[in-house]
Amino acid sequence: MKNITFLFILFYSISGISQSKEMNLMPWPQEVSIGSTQFKIDPNFTINVNKKSTKRIDIATTKFIQRLTGRTGIFFENGFAFNADKIKNASLEISYKRAGKLEINEDESYELKVSPTKISIEATTDIGVIYALETLLQLVDNNETSYFFPEVTIHDFPRFTWRGLMLDVARHFQPVDVIKRNLDAMTSVKMNVLHWHLTDDQGFRIESKKHPKLHQLGSDGLYYTQEKIKEVVEYASDRGIRVVPEVDVPGHATAILTAYPEIGSKDTSYSIERFSGIFHPTLDPTNEKTYEILEDLFGEMAMLFPDQYFHIGGDENEGKHWDENLRIQEFMQKNDLKTNHDLQTYFNIRLEEILAKHGKLVMGWEEIMTDKMPTTALIHSWKGTNEGITQGSSLMKAAKKGHATVLSNGYYIDLMQPASEHYLVDPLTKNNDLTAEEKARILGGEATMWSELVTPLNIDSRLWPRTAAIAERFWSSEEIVDISNMYKRLETISFRLEELGITHIRNRDVILRNITSNQNIEALVKLTKVYEPLKIYTRNKGGVEYKTYSPFTLFADACTADASEAIIFNNLVNKYLSEKKTGFKKEILIMLKDWATNYELFLQIQKSNPILKTLEPLSKNLSEISKSLILILEGESLKYSNYQKIKNQYLELKKPKSDVEFASLKSFKNLIEFFSKQNKCKIELNIPSIQQ
Ligand code: ACM
């Protein structure tokens, strides 16, 4: 354990990245200049606000003081900020002009100055003040005797106005406390839009007073009352976060149709969907009752959600039930609607008119973009190109057509890809042919947390810390792209999220304690540091292995993307193979020996926990191949037969098991091939992937 921590520090020092705890800022501010002095934190620390505080400032300053106490152990004499210059020479002077409006292009900028005797925050809006306080908290540092803020001048503002997180609460309901803690986490990395995906095939999560069958029959009793929705919207508003609700129609509508089968496109009864995937139940756009129900629902929701935008979904409607319905076909003919897409546009425009009556603008997944769709509709780009994670071409197309647009393609954090992949996806790449006006229509992006595989237990570890890296992409300059520096800062940002109640770190052990009946979890913890959950829809392939009510309490749920020891090992192997320094080899050997011996520890707990039997190959394979690699690295045994053996071990390690995959596979391959070539054994591991 100690060894690995040491290696981690060593890795960062050899890679030339500063080890200083200072300046672990994320998102990185637009302009930072650092001095050499410090502002020492003591119990007399006071805050003054230039005029009467808004509720936002009250909450932010009070929490700021509490968080500062939590980190420093210093109990301040004043637990609240003073208002309207009621105190002279406060330690922190906050000056703001007005309450921020929760709308796009609001001023969220701030200026933060720390000198040895004074800290000042200046902002146009109270939202800028909140962000300045978050930055200041990220600056807290200490030496052996005291805590301090380093001398610094920061001028900061967002690159994009739309910095969102989409939470799907339909596949798995997420209680209000999960939403609230994640709103706090969002604010801490300066995200400002919660896109609340409230309905889907698997659940309708809003209380409707006009059509109560919707939540009564469509939610298994798991829905937000209108009072709770107001509470969340207010909580978000207090943190500078807009809440954009989504009612996904006309597809993804099984839960709605469970309550109102008469507005479905097929003459049948429906029941809440228990699997994941794309399903056929679709609202009937030719039935006036469909619009009556939606108009009532949208009217209720318009009162609950003050935001200007209302997301109508619109994705993945294949229209199979439209094709099969003669009445719908006749309607299409009569109204000159040639394709299902035309029919969906007819439907969308009807919804657009309903929402306009409530002063709302339509937002929808990119499928809503057709020639007839008014350009007031905001296009949410989500589909990839054939090259995988690249920018959704619909984003550029929307901007060119005159739509405001937001990117989610590349930010699907439910797919369990490394932070580095999401980090490099930019809503606005340098090489584009957009005019300045078109560029301005690209409002930003949203990380998307689809909830097929998450419950309140594991959702935080799927959201964080990777969402913080995405938040940086939305806020910071496009020049901030250094991945190792991002990961270094993310370490600190990640553990600080615990202060806000985020459970991404601690719930690993909760899951492991459960499956070991509270025995020593050390061996399993070690495995979570090298195995990652299967990525990109390979877990629960086809959506049929798990039901939506399955709890996610398995070993795979204790694992995360960016497995920590695998990252260190991969970096060491890359360095070793490019520089051939024995220092790196020594460090690689330390890690391999640790993995090799972990199996003995695993066997001790496996005996008394049958649930662990399926995990044995994970531990055993890793131990065996590590032992073989140790021999090869130590140069003791270089025969062809050794390479044959390790090849088989490698092929075994490569097989996904228990919903996880080994995260240093490529490094193992590179090492084995390097040594086999060096020893003229000619072992090639380039065998087509078993999984793909
Ligand atoms: C989506 O991922 N179906 C928007």
Helix residue spans in 536-664 (DSSP H): 555-558, 564-579, 582-606, 616-633, 640-654
| pLDDT score of 12 | 41
Asked whether the predicted pLDDT for residue 121 surpasses 50, the reply is yes
| Burial 192-222, CB ≥16 within 10 A → b, else e | bbbbbbbbbbbbbbbbbeebeebbebbbeeb
More confident residue, 143 or 676: 143
As a whole number, mean pLDDT of residues 25-31 equals 98
Assess whether pLDDT exceeds 70 at residue 19.
no
Residue 540 — very low, low, confident or very high, per pLDDT cuts 50/70/90?
confident
pLDDT tens-digit profile of 621-664?
A: 999 999 999 998 988 666 777 778 899 999 999 999 999 999 99
Report the relative pairing of strands 405-407 and 242-246 from DSSP bridges: unpaired
Looking at residue 639, what is its pLDDT? 73
Which residue is closest in CA terms to ligand 1's atom 2?
A: 382
Measured CA to CA, the distance from residue 170 to residue 451 in angstroms comes to 7
Distance 195 CA to ligand 1 centre (A): 13
Query: Which residue's C-alpha comes closest to atom 1 of ligand 1?
Result: 315
Q: Is 316 a catalytic residue?
A: yes
Taken in order 231, 234, 238, 242, the sign of the CA dihedral is positive
What spacing in Å lies between the alpha carbon of 409 and ligand 1's midpoint?
Answer: 9
Coil, helix or strand at residue 403: coil
- Distance from C-alpha of 469 to C-alpha of 410, rounded to nearest angstrom: 12
- Which CB contacts under 8 angstroms, 24+ apart, belong to 297-301? 297/206, 297/208, 297/210, 297/211, 297/214, 297/247, 298/247, 298/351, 298/354, 298/355, 298/358, 298/360, 299/210, 299/358, 300/208, 300/209, 300/210, 300/226, 301/206, 301/245, 301/247
CA distances from residue 658 to 281, 507, 515, 564, 655 in whole angstroms, order as listed:
33, 19, 14, 19, 10
3-state secondary structure of 491: helix
Which H helix or E strand runs over 229?
helix 226-237
387: pLDDT strictly greater than 50: no
Query: What per-residue confidence (pLDDT) applies to 162?
Result: 98
Question: What is the DSSP annotation of 328-371?
Answer: HHHHHHHTT--SHHHHHHHHHHHHHHHHHHTT-EEEEEGGG--T
Which position has the token pair 């049958």?
Answer: 610
Residue 538 predicted with pLDDT over 90: no
List the CATH code of the domain at 192-361: 3.20.20.80
CB 391 within 8 A of CB 427: yes
| pLDDT over threshold 80, residue 688 | no
Distance in angstroms (rounded) separating the CA atoms of residues 623 and 591: 11
Residue 7 has pLDDT above 60, yes or no: no
* Residue among 187, 181, 283, 200 nearest 246 (CA): 200
Decide: helix, strand or coil at residue 48: strand
In Å, how far are 67, 533, 555, 614 from 657, measured between CA atoms?
41, 10, 11, 8
Residue 455 and residue 551 in contact, taking contact as beta carbons nearer than 8 Å:
yes
Instruction: Give the pLDDT confidence score for residue 384 in this predicted structure.
Output: 61
Determine the average pLDDT of the residues in 436-465.
Answer: 97
Up-side HSE of residue 156: CA atoms within 13 Å toward CB? 32
Sign of torsion over alpha carbons 520, 525, 531, 533: positive
Residue from 184, 316, 522, 652 carrying the catalytic annotation: 316
The response to whether residue 316 sits with its C-beta less than 6 Å from ligand 1 reads: yes
Helix or strand holding residue 165 (H, E)? strand 162-168
Instruction: Indicate the pLDDT class of residue 686, thresholds 50, 70 and 90.
Output: low
Position 281, amino acid: P
Structure token digits, residue 83: 């208002």
Cα–Cα distance, 528 to 556 (Å, whole number): 8
Query: What pLDDT sits at residue 467?
Result: 98
* Cα Rg of the chain (Å, integer): 27
Q: Among the CATH numbers 3.40.190.10, 3.60.9.10, 3.40.50.410, 3.30.379.10, which is that of 31-156?
A: 3.30.379.10
Distance 27 CA to ligand 1 centre (A): 27
Indicate the burial class of 550 (C-beta count within 10 angstroms; 0-12, 13-18, 19 or more): middle
pLDDT digits (tens, 9 = 90+) for 42-75: 999 999 999 999 999 999 999 999 999 999 999 9
Q: Specify the residue for token string 């309550």.
A: 259
Indicate the pLDDT class of residue 681, thresholds 50, 70 and 90. Answer: confident
Give per-residue pLDDT as tens, 250-284. 999 999 999 999 999 999 999 999 999 999 999 99
Q: What residue segments make up the domains of the chain, in order of their start? A: 31-156, 192-361, 514-678
Judged on CB neighbours under 10 Å (0-12, 13-18, 19+), 435 is exposed
Q: Give the pLDDT confidence score for residue 385 in this predicted structure.
A: 53
The residues, any chain, with a CB within 8 Å of residue 270's CB and separated by 6 or more, are 254, 257, 258, 261, 264, 281
Å from CA of 452 to ligand 1 middle: 12
Cβ contact 535:415 at 8 Å: yes
Q: Output the pLDDT for position 581.
A: 85
Look at residue 6 and tell me whether its pLDDT is greater than 50: no
Mean pLDDT, the chain, whole residue set: 92
Q: Buried b / exposed e across 496-526, counting CB within 10 Å, b at 16+?
A: bbebbebbbbebbeebbeebbeebebebbeb
| Ligand 1 in reach of 382 Cβ (< 6 A) | yes
Please confirm, yes or no, whether 341 is among the known catalytic residues: no
Tokens at 404, concatenated: 């405001």
Q: How far is CA 474 from CA 110, 196, 422, 431, 447, in A?
A: 17, 19, 11, 18, 10
Mean pLDDT of 501-513: 98
Q: At what angle do helices 2-14 and 564-579 cross, to 10 degrees?
A: 50
1 pLDDT more than 50: no
Q: What percent of the chain has pLDDT over 70?
A: 94
- Catalytic-role residue among 200, 295, 452, 587: 200
Beta bridge partners of 361: 309
pLDDT band, residue 689 (cuts 50/70/90): very low
The per-residue pLDDT for range 236-254, each reduced to its tens digit, is 999 999 999 999 999 999 9
- Distance from the alpha carbon of residue 248 to the mean position of ligand 1, in angstroms: 10
- Decide: 602 in ligand 1 pocket, CB within 6 A: no
Asked if pLDDT for residue 391 goes beyond 70, the answer is: no
Residue pair 39/119 in contact (Cβ under 8 Å)? The answer is yes
448 CA closest ligand 1 atom index: 2
Kindly tell me if the per-residue pLDDT of 504 is higher than 50: yes
At residue 341, the pLDDT reads 94
Per-residue model confidence (pLDDT) at position 10: 41
